[in-house]
Amino acid sequence: MPVLNEIDYLRRAVESTLAQEVDGPVELVLALGPSTDGTTELARALAADDPRIVLVDNPAADIPVGLNAAIRASRHPTVIRVDAHSELSPGYAARALATLERTRAGNVGGIMRADGRTPFQRAAAWAYNSPIGLGGGAYHGGSREAEAESAYLGVMRRAVLDEIGLFDETVRRGEDWELNLRIRSAGYRVWFDPALSVTYWPRESWARLARQFRATGRWRGELFRRFGRRNSLKYFAPPVLLVVLALAAVVGALQATGVLAGAAAAVASLVYLPVAAYALLVAGVALTARGIHPFGARERMWLAAVLPTMHLSWGAGFVVGAMRGADDTVDTSRLSGRNTPLP
C-alpha cells in the first residue's frame, strides 16, 4: 500500500485489509511517502500495535517506486495491491486467491466501487462508476467474469512480478496498465472477477480532481507515445472532445469577426452539433442520475461540473503528454492540505 497524505483514510484502509480472512500468514507493507498531515505518525502508531504491519520508506513519493519497495520487502508468494484511499470488501482476499488459483491467471482484479461522503464526492463517485465518466472499463461496472486488459489494484503472483521486472518506475501514472500489458505479453492472463469489490473514495474537491485527471491524462499521452496502438480507443475520446471544443471556439470567433460568412460559415457551424450533443448529454445525466445515496440538487449541480472537468482535464493532459511526453509530471492532488474529515 503506497501512502501519502492519507490521515483521514489510512486507518480504515488498514483495518479493512487486515480484517481479510485467508488460509495462511498475512503482512501489510506500507510504503510511506513524505506526508505532511500526520499520516506517517499514524502509520507508525498502527505498526506499533500490529506486528503484521511493515513500514518502508518511499521518499520520492512515486507510486511505482513505493509499490516496488513494498513488494521487495514482502515475504509471501502472492501480492495484493491496496490503495490507501480505498477499503477492501469482506472476503475480498479469499475470493481473489481462489480466483487466481482457479483461472491460473497472473493478475486478478475486480470492481472499483466509488463512494462519497459529501455532495461533491458523491457526484465524483457517480462519474467514476459510470461509463459516461471514465469510459466503461470492466472494473468500473462490468458484470461478466472474463479476461481483461488491465485490473484495478490487482492480486498478483509474486513469481510473475519477479519474472517481468515489477512496476516500471519511469511510469508515474498508468503504471498498472503498463504492468498488465507486460503480464499479458509474457503469456499470462489478466482476469476480471466482478465478485471482487473495493470501495474507492474520490478526491474531495473540484481543484484536486482536476489536478488528478490532468496528471493522469498526461501520463496516458506518454503511454500513447511509448505503446501506440496498444492503447484502447476509449482513451482518445477526451482529447477528441477537447479538439472539437477548440474548433468550435475558433469558428465562433471567426464568425463573430466576419472572417467566416455565407456558405462557409454555415458549413463551419456543423462543428457546434457535437458540442451541443455533449452539453445535452451532461445536462441530461445530471438531471436523471441516481446514486446509492440520496442524489439531491447539490449532487446534480456538482455532477454537471465533474463530468466535463474529468473529460477536459484528462484530455488536455493527454494532448500535452502525446506531444511533449510526461516529463516529471506528478499528481499534486495529494501533496498538500487536509482531506475531508470522516464522520
Residue 132 lies in a domain: yes
Judge if 181 and 67 occupy the same domain.
yes
Q: Tell me: do 250 and 279 sit in the same domain.
A: yes
pLDDT tens over the chain, length 343 residues: 999 999 999 999 999 999 999 999 999 999 999 999 999 999 999 999 999 999 999 998 899 999 999 999 999 999 999 999 999 999 999 999 999 999 999 999 999 999 998 999 999 999 998 888 876 555 556 678 999 999 999 999 999 999 999 999 999 999 999 999 999 999 999 999 999 999 999 999 999 999 999 999 999 999 999 998 788 888 899 999 999 999 999 999 999 999 989 999 999 999 999 999 999 999 999 999 987 677 899 999 999 999 999 999 999 999 999 999 998 888 888 775 444 433 3
* Cβ pair 103, 176 in contact under 8 A: no
Q: Does residue 171 sit in the same domain as residue 42?
A: yes
Decide: 26 and 52 in contact? Cβ < 8 Å.
Answer: yes
- Based on the domain organization, do 72 and 191 belong to the same domain? yes
Q: Give CA 137 to chain center in angstroms.
A: 11
Write the CB contacts of 138 (distance below 8 Å, at least 6 apart in sequence): 146, 148, 149, 192, 194
Please check whether residue 340 lies inside any domain of the structure. Answer: no
CA gap 125, 122 in Å, rounded: 5
**Phi, psi of 341, rounded to the nearest 5 degrees:** -60, 145
The one-letter amino acid code at 197 reads: S
Same domain, 182 and 40: yes
Specify whether 272 is located in the same domain as 163: no
Q: Are residues 176 and 30 in the same domain?
A: yes
- The strands making up 53-57's β-sheet, listed across from edge to edge, are 2-3, 28-32, 53-57
Which pLDDT belongs to residue 337? Answer: 47
Query: How confident is the model at residue 328, as a pLDDT?
Result: 80
- Is 87 buried (19+), middle (13-18) or exposed (0-12) by CB count in 10 A? buried
How many domains does one find in the chain? Answer: 2
Residues 41 and 179 in one domain: yes
Read out DSSP for 22-75? Answer: -SS---EEEEE---SSSHHHHHHHHHHH-TTEEEEE-TT--HHHHHHHHHHH--
Q: Is 213 within a domain?
A: no
Return the CATH number at 15: 3.90.550.10
| 174 and 79 inside one domain | yes
268 CA to centre of own chain: 37
Cell match 442524489: residue? Answer: 295
Classify residue 86 by burial, with Cβ atoms within 10 Å: 0-12, 13-18, 19+. buried
Query: Considering 204, 234, 260, which residue would you say is the last residue of a domain?
Result: 204
Burial of 50 (0-12, 13-18, 19+ CB in 10 A): exposed
Assess if residue 17 is contained within a domain.
yes
- Neighbouring C-beta atoms of residue 14, cutoff 10 Å: 25
Domain membership flag for residue 70: yes
- Look at residues 204, 237, 253 and tell me which one is the last residue of a structural domain: 204
Same domain, 279 and 148: no
Residue type at position 285: V
- CA torsion angle 56 60 66 72 (round to 10): -60
Domain that holds residue 295: 225-329
For residue 145, the number of C-alpha atoms closer than 13 Å in the C-beta half-sphere is: 12
Question: Cell 521518499 maps to which residue?
Answer: 59
Domain boundary among 145, 173, 204: 204
Question: Are residues 234 and 154 part of one domain?
Answer: no
35: in domain? yes
Q: Is residue 135 part of a domain?
A: yes
Please list, in sequence order, all residues whose beta carbon lies within 8 angstroms of the beta carbon of residue 151, skipping any fewer than 6 positions away.
107, 108, 109, 110, 139, 176, 180, 190, 191, 192
For 272, the grid coordinates are: 457546434
Whether residue 49 is contained in a domain is answered as yes
DSSP string, 56-124: EE-TT--HHHHHHHHHHH--SSEEE---TTEEEPTTHHHHHHHHHHHHT-SEEEEEEEE--SSHHHHHH
26 in the same domain as 106: yes
What pLDDT is stored for residue 338 in this prediction?
47
